[in-house]
Amino acid sequence: MKEQLYKTPEILSLRLVLVLCSLPPRPSGHPFKTRSNEEMRSLELSGQVGFNSLPHQVVRKLVAQGFCFNILCVGETGIGKSTLINTLFNTTFENEEADHYEQEVKLRSQTYELQEHTVKLKLTIVHTVGFGDQINKDESCKPILDYIEAQFEKYLEEELKIKRSLSNYDDTRVHICLYFIAPTGHTLKSLDLVTMKKLDSKVNIIPVIAKADIMSKTDLGNLKKKIMNELQSYGVQIYQFPNEDEEVGEINSSLNARLPFAVVGSTEDVKIGNRVVKARSYPWGAVQVENEEHCDFVHLREMLLRVNMDDLREQTHSHHYELYRRCKLQEMGFKDTDPDSQSFSLQEMYEAKRREFLKELQHREESMRQMFVNKVKETEAELKEKEKELHERFEVLKRMHQEEKRNLEEKRRELEEEMNAFNRRKVAAETLMGQALQGCSQQPLKKEKDKKK
| Mean pLDDT of the residues in the chain | 81
- Read off the pLDDT of residues 289-317 as tens digits, 9 standing for 90 and up: 888 888 888 888 888 888 888 889 999 99
User: What fold is seen in the domain 59-332?
Assistant: Rossmann fold (3.40.50)
Q: Provide the edge-to-edge strand list for the sheet that holds 176-181.
A: 106-116, 119-129, 67-74, 176-181, 205-209, 261-262
Q: Provide the edge-to-edge strand list for the sheet that holds 269-272.
A: 269-272, 275-282, 285-288
Q: How many CB atoms within 10 Å of residue 294?
A: 19
Q: What is the mean pLDDT of residues 29-53?
A: 54
Helices (H) and strands (E) counted in the chain, each on its own, are 11, 11
Q: What is the mean pLDDT of residues 70-82?
A: 89
Domain boundaries, the chain: 59-332, 349-421
| pLDDT over 70, % of the chain | 83
Q: What are phi and psi of 181, to 5 degrees?
A: -110, 130
Nearest alpha carbon to residue 154 among 166, 163, 167: 166
Q: Using 50, 70 and 90 to split pLDDT, how confident is the model at 433?
A: confident
Cα–Cα distance, 376 to 164 (Å, whole number)? 49
Cα–Cα distance, 314 to 153 (Å, whole number)? 18
Cα–Cα distance, 162 to 238 (Å, whole number)? 36
**By the 8 A CB rule, do 263 and 209 touch?**
yes
Cα–Cα distance, 26 to 23 (Å, whole number)? 9
Angle between helix 190-199 and helix 142-159 axes, rounded to 10 deg: 10
Q: What is the mean pLDDT of residues 379-394?
A: 92
Nearest alpha carbon to residue 108 among 72, 146, 134, 66: 72
| pLDDT over 90, % of the chain | 28
Ramachandran bin of 362, using left for φ above 0, alpha for ψ from -120 to 50, beta for the remaining angles: alpha
Q: Using 50, 70 and 90 to split pLDDT, how confident is the model at 45?
A: low
Please report the pLDDT score of residue 47 as a whole number. Answer: 61
Please report the pLDDT score of residue 14 as a whole number. Answer: 46
Q: What is the mean pLDDT of residues 407-423?
A: 91
Higher pLDDT, 43 or 250: 250
Q: What is the mean pLDDT of residues 417-432?
A: 90
**By the 8 A CB rule, do 232 and 225 touch?**
no
| Cα dihedral 86/89/90/93 (nearest 10) | -40
Higher pLDDT, 22 or 220: 220
Chain-centre distance for alpha carbon 305: 27
Q: Taking 50 as the threshold, does the pLDDT of residue 7 lie above it? A: no
Q: How many CB atoms within 10 Å of residue 124?
A: 20
Please report the pLDDT score of residue 21 as a whole number. Answer: 44
Higher pLDDT, 288 or 50: 288
Please report the pLDDT score of residue 305 as a whole number. Answer: 85
Please report the pLDDT score of residue 390 as a whole number. Answer: 93
CA atoms lying within 13 Å on the CB side of residue 298: 12
